[in-house]
Amino acid sequence: MTHRFESVDAVREGLKNVEYLSDESIAGIVYLADRLGKPVLIEGPAGTGKTQLAKSVAEVTDARLIRLQCYEGLDEAKALYEWNYKKQLLRIQSEGTAADWDEMQDDIFGNDFLLERPLLEAIRAEDPVVLLIDEVDRVEVETEALLLELLSDYQVSIPELGTLEAKQIPLVFLTSNSTRELSEALKRRCLFLYLDYPDMEREKEIVLTKVPDITENLADQISRIVRSIRQLELKKAPSVSETIDWARTLILLGIEKISEEDAVETASILLKYRSDIEKVVKEFSTNSAAHFEASAS
């Protein structure tokens, strides 16, 4: 088996080259997933870079990204495979009533009539693949069970065709926002990675990387203000992508040093609930010096 990464440092450097700033734990898990051939279950708050990690690994390894976006009600027909019933019906009609049923059955339940969905597509792919199973905590337990055979043996069983084994082992990433507890069986098959919001210095580095025109002082002020906002009791704390959006907004508005007025007027870029905006605006007005004068130093 050909490995994708030579070392943990190679993972970090590769991710950095595609503008994903990883730490030692992230790079280490990706390296082990490659070497051990195991899926990675990534948990953490929304907006901490879980999905982007899979996308970045695909970019680094020059692999095709196959994404299964999970949702309540997702079933086997949308996740794994289904038969092309219209094509099967046309085949039956074209043969007429005199056709031997056993022979026809073997025909219409062949590969030509099989519709691949993301899980089966990843298993049957001959080119390098990264499989992203996004927000797996949104599916029901019954649907989660579909994943167990694939994640343990990299194969799927189709009654009409038998067991289909992977032609090459894909890198598999599952993400979860922890809206429900995943089964022990699923967790046992995966390496585990928890992605929390980055610390202030790492978020500053992310902003500097993603927003090339920004000054170091403004990036520092942004990371300090966002950190203080996340310490409040909010319905939804600002994600890293929203921090980047805020930084780009401030640049577009020509703001080089954030004032209380600037922060209030652009708060909707960071926050998506009215109650959160009101709470943060109140915090800004109550502790203005703590958030702005000190953070701009």
Domain ranges in the chain? 8-73+119-194, 81-116, 200-293
Name 129's bridge partners: 64
**Cα 207 to Cα 210: distance, rounded to the nearest angstrom:** 5
pLDDT at res. 217 = 95
DSSP string, 115-139: EE-HHHHHHH--S-EEEEEETGGGS
pLDDT at res. 104 = 61
Tokens of 90: 């046309």
Phi, psi of 116 (to 5 degrees): -75, 135
Name 82's bridge partners: 115
pLDDT at res. 179 = 85
Which amino acid, one-letter code, is at 47?
A: G
Residue 19 host element (H or E)? none
The pTM of this model reads 0.85
User: Do the bridges between strand 114-116 and strand 81-83 make them parallel or antiparallel, or are there none, so unpaired?
Assistant: antiparallel
pLDDT at res. 98 = 52
pLDDT at res. 115 = 84
pLDDT at res. 8 = 96
Asked if residue 281 lies in contact with residue 264, where contact means CB atoms within 8 angstroms, the answer is: yes
- SS3 track for 251-296: HHCCCCCCCHHHHHHCHHHHCCCHHHHHHHHHHHHHCHHHHHHCCC
Q: Which residues of the chain have pLDDT under 70?
A: 1, 88, 95-107, 110, 287-297
User: For the segment 6-19, what is each residue's pLDDT rounded down to a tens digit?
Assistant: 999 999 999 999 99
Please check whether the domain covering 8-73+119-194 is classified as CATH 3.90.105.10.
no
